[in-house]
Structure 1
Amino acid sequence: MITIYHNPRCSKSREGLCFLEQHGIEHKIIKYLDDNISEIELKSILKKLNYQPIQLVRTKEALWKDNFADKDLNYDEIIKIMTENPRLIERPIIINGDKAIVARPIEKIKEIITF
């Protein structure tokens, strides 16, 4: 089953969810701003994305710029910051088995889903 890490207030995240629904793709929704994401879960997502933590951070967010951008942070520190401040996590994240993508643009969903 496909999993979408979803922020209902984000237009791209809503587009990703709409894409799954329009194509009849069965999916599970995780509203990661409401359902706290654990460090273990985030590390698993990063592995599936083949990303370093900083690649998943919304670095243009004021929260990041004002509090963290000028710091020399390691892998675990960035993960901790993201779990404590989940709005800093890029979205939507779509997971299919052991693969994941950040669906920006939405068409990237096709990279991990067969129709």
Structure 2
Amino acid sequence: MTVTIYHNPRCSKSRQTLALLQERGIEPEVVEYLKDPPDAATLDAILERLKMEPRDLMRRREEPYKALNLQDEGLSRQALIAAMVEHPILIERPIVTKGSKAALGRPPESVLAIL
């Protein structure tokens, strides 16, 4: 079964998570999500697998979060996902998926539970 990591090579946690997978003999499909962001349906499915709501996966200190007023509680799930697709810097990383499971690599060891 394919293991995928949504990866930012500039992020230390993302690099650590990728190294952890490789140390265990897993060569995941690497998606540099800042260059190739997931579409809304993919991101929605990832959120379902993570059992998270969009804001739970958002980097709230990033400029687009404030500029787009994403803290507005009246925004729908779809609006928040659309903002993450449009501004992938908002997506917390790394995310590792395997089949119907997903984990956020914070800390990196948390992804081991889905392997």
Question: TM-score, normalized by length of structure 2?
Answer: 0.91
| Cα separation, partners in 2 of 1:7 and 1:109, compared to 1, 3 Å | same
Instruction: Verify: 1:87 aligned to 2:89, yes or no.
Output: yes
Deviation at 1:63?
A: 2.5
Instruction: Verify: 1:8 aligned to 2:9, yes or no.
Output: yes
Superposition CA RMSD, Å: 1.2
User: 2:54 is matched with which residue?
Assistant: 53
Letter matched to residue 68 of structure 1: N
Identify unmatched segments of 5+ residues in structure 2: none
Instruction: Verify: 1:103 aligned to 2:105, yes or no.
Output: yes
**What whole-Å deviation, never above 9, does each CA across 1:23-77 have from its counterpart, x for those lacking one?**
1113110111111320011011111111111111111223313432442311011
Question: TM-score, normalized by length of structure 1?
Answer: 0.91
CA distance in 2, matches of 1:69, 1:43: 17
> What secondary structure sits across from 1:60 in the alignment?
coil
CA distance in 1, matches of 2:26, 2:41: 26
> What secondary structure sits across from 1:5 in the alignment?
strand
> What secondary structure sits across from 1:101 in the alignment?
strand
**What whole-Å deviation, never above 9, does each CA across 1:84-107 have from its counterpart, x for those lacking one?**
000100100000110001110011
Identical-residue share of aligned pairs (%): 42
Q: How does 1:20-99 map to 2 (within 5 A)?
A: 20-71=21-72, 72-99=74-101
CA distance in 2, matches of 1:94, 1:101: 5
| Cα separation, partners in 2 of 1:43 and 1:69, compared to 1, 3 Å | closer
CA distance in 1, matches of 2:85, 2:71: 19
CA distance in 2, matches of 1:58, 1:68: 13
Aligned residues: 113
Letter matched to residue 24 of structure 1: G
